[in-house]
């Protein structure tokens, strides 16, 4: 049996970077809904066409579209024995949909914590370096606002369902943070 885990953390917390490293360490696929949606936009698929403007504004793509996309991804062979979800679920509706799709229970949640001022400055640096379409100042604040109101409450949702939630300090060097996450998972 593999491991099923979810990475939670605000934009700029280093969630994507840490999720990809951890997935490699644990030998499970890294399933990032942000990456999948950006790919759909780049490929100009029907989903991508629907998601494009919504993502640029920093809003959430409708739950039913994202849930269907993740459902298909989780049904693929490589995800049968475990996976690491990054960017999903993003609200309680998606979390409940995921509960309905999974046949075996979630193992653990990793929540990366980073102070708000550090998040803003990291995001603005990334905006300058990568030029991502949703990395405008409005897009960034919109995404952070949605994170605190809709995504952050998921840690309580999972605690109430008796899923272990590890809160890990995401402030520091990338390697240092990876070490903390690995340690948290090892001592679980």
Tell me the catalytic residues.
15, 90, 126, 132, 143
Q: Is 54 an interacting residue with respect to ligand ADP (CB under 6 A)? A: yes
Question: Which residue minimizes CB distance to ligand ADP?
Answer: 34
Output the DSSP codes for 77-115.
Answer: GGGTT-EEEES---SHHHHHHHHHH-SS---EEEEEE--
Q: Is 97 an interacting residue with respect to ligand ADP (CB under 6 A)? A: no
Q: Is 94 an interacting residue with respect to ligand ADP (CB under 6 A)? A: yes
Q: Which residue in 74, 82, 97 sits closest to 185, CA to CA?
A: 82
Stretch that binds ligand ADP, among 22-30, 86-94, 100-108, 110-118 (CB under 6 A): 86-94
CA distances from 19 to 93, 172, 174 (A): 22, 16, 11
Would you tell me how many other CB atoms lie within 10 Å of the CB of residue 187?
7
Report CA Rg, the chain.
16
Which position among 3, 5, 11, 185 is part of the footprint of ligand ADP (CB under 6 A)? 11
Q: Is 84 an interacting residue with respect to ligand ADP (CB under 6 A)? A: no
Q: Which is nearer to ligand ADP, 99 or 187 (CB)?
A: 99
Kindly state the tokens that stand for 167. 């809160």
Secondary element (H or E) of residue 143:
helix 137-146
Omega into 136 within 30° of 0, i.e. cis? no
Q: Which is nearer to ligand ADP, 55 or 163 (CB)?
A: 55
Q: Is 180 an interacting residue with respect to ligand ADP (CB under 6 A)? A: no
Least distance CB 124 / ligand ADP (angstroms): 12
Least distance CB 125 / ligand ADP (angstroms): 13
Do 45 and 37 touch, CB atoms closer than 8 A? no
Q: Is 34 an interacting residue with respect to ligand ADP (CB under 6 A)? A: yes
Q: Please give the residues from 102 up to 161 whose contact with ligand ADP meets the rule CB under 6 A.
A: 134, 143
Q: Which parts of this chain interact with ligand ADP (CB under 6 A)?
A: 11, 33-34, 37, 54-55, 58-61, 66, 87-88, 90, 94, 134, 143
């Amino acid at each position: 049996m593999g491991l099923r885990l979810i990475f939670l953390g605000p934009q700029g917390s280093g969630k994507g970077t840490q999720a990809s490293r951890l997935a490699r360490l644990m030998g499970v696929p890294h399933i990032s809904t942000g990456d999948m949606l950006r790919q759909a936009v780049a490929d100009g698929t029907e989903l991508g066409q629907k998601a494009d403007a919504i993502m640029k504004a920093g809003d959430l793509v409708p739950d039913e579209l994202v849930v269907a996309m993740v459902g298909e991804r989780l049904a693929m062979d490589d995800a049968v024995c475990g996976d690491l979800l990054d960017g999903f679920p993003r609200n309680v509706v998606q979390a409940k949909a995921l509960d309905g799709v999974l046949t075996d229970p979630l193992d653990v949640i990793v929540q990366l914590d980073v102070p708000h001022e550090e998040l803003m400055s990291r995001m603005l640096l990334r905006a300058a370096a990568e030029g991502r379409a949703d990395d405008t100042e409005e897009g960034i604040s919109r995404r952070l606002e949605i994170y605190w109101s809709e995504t952050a409450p998921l840690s309580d949702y999972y605690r109430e369902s008796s899923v272990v939630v590890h809160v890990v300090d995401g402030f520091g060097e990338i390697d240092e943070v990876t070490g903390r996450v690995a340690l948290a998972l090892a001592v679980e």
